[in-house]
Amino acid sequence: METAFYLLLVIGSIGFFDVLFFHWYHCRLAERPECHREVFWHTARHLVYALQFLWVANLRFHGAALLALVMLYVADVVVAWSDVWEETASRKPQGGLPRGEYFTHVVLSVLVGCYLMGVAHAVWPDRLLPTAVVVDPPRVPVLLRGLMTLMGLSALGVFVLDLQAWVKRGRAFRSLPQHVAS
């Protein structure tokens, strides 16, 4: 699981930059009514990655419990596809996705593919074990494991805050005149 751990650490770091720089600072997506649905998918991604950070840093799934992981990764794929689908319409008034953000997404996609292959390789033998979720962290430095756990807890906190803000903005956007909200 060590390879998957390090890949997820890199993915999380690049994703953090993507959110801070492109989503929040450069494009200010949360402030734009036309980006409201895209921001929902970003909010959902915070939850999906929070769970992955916490799981990879601390747990191991055995037997039928691996189905929980499969569901989490299926949710990740659904969120990613939905986000890409929504981005085209959402970013049209801004001239599309900034080139740097597009490049960042391509790099992240390649890394996520490698990460998923690493996870599959690491957990494949675990399918034969009795069903359980056990505390079994990867053999990585404790400081890095703590960092990834902190990333998971932070992503969980951002998910809660962003979901609350998304609901509040949705109410505000619905009260805008139709020509402003679309």
Contacts 24+ apart (CB under 8 A), 122-128: 122/1, 122/3, 122/4, 123/1, 123/60, 123/61, 123/66, 123/69, 126/60, 126/61, 126/62, 126/63, 126/66, 127/62, 127/63, 127/66, 128/63
> Is residue 180 predicted with pLDDT exceeding 70?
no
What is the reported pLDDT for 178? 53
What is the pTM (predicted TM-score) of this model? 0.88
* Structural domain range at position 140: 2-181
pLDDT band at 177 (very low <50, low <70, confident <90, very high): low
Number of domains in the chain: 1
DSSP string, the chain: -HHHHHHHHHHHHHHHHIIIIIIIIIS-GGG-GGGHHHHHHHHHHHHHHHHHHHHHHHEEEEGGGHHHHHHHHHHHHHHHHHHHHHHHHHHGGGTSS-HHHHHHHHHHHHHHHHHHHHHHHHHGGGGGSPSEEEE---SS-HHHHHHHHHHHHHHHHHHHHHHHHHHHHHHHHHTS-HHHH-
pLDDT 10s digits, 49-90: 999 999 999 999 999 999 999 999 999 999 999 999 998 888
pLDDT 10s digits, 120-155: 999 999 999 999 999 999 999 999 999 999 999 999
Query: Are 3 and 119 in contact, with CB atoms under 8 Å apart?
Result: no
Closest CA to 1 of 112, 153, 121, 149: 121
Q: What is the mean pLDDT of residues 161-166?
A: 91
